[in-house]
Amino acid sequence: MDLSTKIEETRKRFAQELSAASTQEERDRVKNRYLSGPKCVLRGLFGELGRLSPAQKADGGRALNALKGELEEACRALAQQDRREKEHKLPPDPSLPGRLPPLGRRHPVTQTMDDVIEVFARLGFDVVHGPEIENERNNFQALNIPLDHPSRDAFDTFYLEPPWLLRSHTSPVQVRTMLRRKPPIRVIAPGKVFRPDKADASHLPMFHQVEGLAVGEGVTFAQLKGVLLLFAESMFGVGTQVRFRPSFFPFTEPSAEVDISCFICGAKGCSACKGSGWMEILGAGMVHPHVFEAVGLDPGRFTGFAFGMGIERICMLRHGVADIRYFLENHLRFLEQF
Ligand code: DAH
């Protein structure tokens, strides 16, 4: 009988004997006979390799190793089944501690969002929401972004059936709020925004922003600075400084980009702040008179400040996350760190 026939026979015989064995003891005996010790069946078969030509030896060796793996796996599977059945038969023990289900947690982006909301809530800002499907008027025109103006490119947009689109920023919630409420207004608007950007380390086609708006008689840029300084210190630690750089947004005048002193290196310059000592975290400014006009408020009587920030970006700065796509990959090894 050649080796491959013997292997086939052994496979069959083993299966028969194993299924005939009704106790773990009997199964162990079958297992030992085939798999353990110098006199076991498998060792015997391996011994026969010596009589074969080198080419046959290689094939035979492979076939025998495969057989060995199969037999061991069959024993393991049966033993496991046995264990399960035994567990089943044990009477329940009510004195055992309960099994804790694995606890979930808030997503890191949600945590950052909640922290931002909490700081502004303490400063007296209400939380308001707007729809993710907006119309062009609220997303653009009422915010002083004319149809044909190049600044519209900065808020690249997913268009739906006219006049609908996926909002490209949370600023339209300013418009909705001013149409619904009378000053004094102090609100923040958290939520998802959408832009047709290709996903890379710092872009996703969907991300989160928090918008802020304060409107009243005599609201000043100094108050904006005070509020944002308090925000920066609450969020990133006492002693954090803020820096306002002149900038342009159609819906504010004057406008500023706001940086915070790097909380990683204490503004000395490191890789997190790219050596500058500062990190850009938001855009802000005084509400443009055209925006007031669009919502029927008198720009001669009211002034206001507004700001908007990207939450993923702040979350990445806080935790040193190198790639924004990690937030969407749902890998527990990433998410469980927060
Ligand atoms: N909407 C701007 C953006 O998506 C952010 C922003 C800048 C909001 C300045 C504001 C603001 O309210 O005053 O880039």
- The pLDDT score that the predictor gives to residue 147 is 84
User: Are 188 and 285 contained in the same domain?
Assistant: yes
Nearest protein CA to atom 2 of ligand 1, as residue:
308
Is 320 inside a domain boundary?
Answer: yes
Per-residue pLDDT tens for 21-77? 888 888 889 999 999 988 999 999 999 898 888 888 888 999 999 999 999 998 888
3-class SS of residue 282: strand
3-state secondary structure of 135: strand
pLDDT at position 282 is 97
Residue at 95 is within a domain: no
User: Do the domain assignments include residue 55?
Assistant: yes
Supply the residue whose CA is at minimum distance from atom 7 of ligand 1.
283
Residue 66 pLDDT: 92
Per-residue pLDDT, 55: 86
Give pLDDT, residue 9.
92
Beta strands in the chain (DSSP E): 126-127, 133-135, 158-159, 164-166, 185-194, 206-216, 242-249, 252-261, 278-287, 303-310
- Split into its structural domains, the chain has a count of 2
pTM of the model: 0.73
Q: Are residues 23 and 84 in the same domain?
A: yes
**Residue 177: predicted pLDDT:** 98
Are the beta carbons of 259 and 272 closer than 8 angstroms?
A: no
Judge whether 97 lies within some domain: no
pLDDT at 284 (0 to 100): 98
What is the Cα–Cα distance from 211 to 189, expressed in whole angstroms?
5
**CATH number, domain with residue 115:** 3.30.930.10
Do 79 and 130 lie in one domain? The reply is no
Q: Which atom of ligand 1 is nearest to the CA of 209?
A: 4
- 198 Rama class: left (phi>0) / alpha (psi -120 to 50) / beta: beta
Tell which atom from ligand 1 comes closest to the C-alpha of 252: 13
Length in residues, the chain: 338
The CB of 172 under 6 Å from ligand 1? The reply is no
Cα(260) to centroid(ligand 1), Å: 17
- What residue numbers bound the domain in which 48 lies? 3-89
In a domain, 275, yes or no: yes
Confidence (pLDDT) at 82: 81
CA 251 / ligand 1 centre spacing (Å): 8
State whether 191 and 317 are in the same domain: yes
Same-domain pairing of 200 and 241:
yes
Among 60, 89, 118, where does a domain finish?
Answer: 89
What was the pLDDT predicted at 148?
84
pLDDT at 24: 83
Q: Are residues 187 and 281 in the same domain?
A: yes
Distance of CA 338 from the midpoint of ligand 1 (Å): 28
**Strand order across the beta sheet in which 158-159 lies:** 133-135, 164-166, 158-159
Q: What is the pLDDT of residues 259-300, one digit of tens each?
A: 999 998 989 999 889 999 999 999 999 999 999 999 999 999
Residue 271, pLDDT score:
87
Same domain? 78 vs 125: no
pLDDT at residue 119, as a whole number: 98
Q: Is residue 24 part of a domain?
A: yes
Residues of the chain scoring pLDDT < 50: none
176 part of a folded domain: yes
**From the CB of 211, is ligand 1 less than 6 Å away?**
yes
Q: Do 76 and 113 belong together in one domain?
A: no
Question: Are both 85 and 112 inside the same structural domain?
Answer: no
